Amino acid sequence: MRFIHTLALAASVFFGAVSMAADSVHEIAMKSIDGKDVKLSEYKGKVLLIVNVASQCGLTNQYTQLQALHEKYADKGVVVIGVPCNQFGGQEPGTETEIKTFCSTKYSVSFPMMSKVKVNGDGQHELYSFLKSHSDKKDDISWNFEKFVVGKDGKVAARFAPRTKPDAEEVIAAIEAALKK
């Protein structure tokens, strides 16, 4: 009888852990582009603009607007986070060191960059599982430079298509609205 009780307890712990999903991005951890552990809880109380990025994409010049947005809004509590991904046309084939060098030398990127992850399918990072499942549009990420505005509470506030520029009126409006909450 004791064995059955122990087995039932172990099963409930195991299956409970498997079914647990994050309630906010603040419960998710990543690796920085330098390989350091980053708990997104470090950004509680901040508005995040999370963007899957690539160095060899026709949209790569959006780094310019992302950096400008970072410079304009960092003091107001906005953090831009770049998340490299090589799932779209193999447009981010480099190592983390190569990506970091490219971003800093070509675009003077100073906002946080994470290590390369998968944003769709098998092996997708937990962050992207959360972002997609908690936005109005639940579809897979369609291409590089898809953008998510995340509120101070760690909840998805808005999602924008890759071709929507970071400084587009609707992106700025979503960021400003999230700052007021």
List residues with catalytic annotation: 57
Indicate the burial class of 42 (C-beta count within 10 angstroms; 0-12, 13-18, 19 or more). Answer: exposed
CB contact set of 120 (below 8 Å; sequence gap of 6+): 87, 128, 140, 141
Backbone angles phi, psi at 49, to 5 degrees: -115, 105
Helix, strand, coil percentages (3-state) for the chain, rounded to 5, are 40, 20, 45
Asked whether the beta carbons of 112 and 38 are under 8 A apart, the reply is yes
Closest CA to 100 of 80, 81, 84: 84
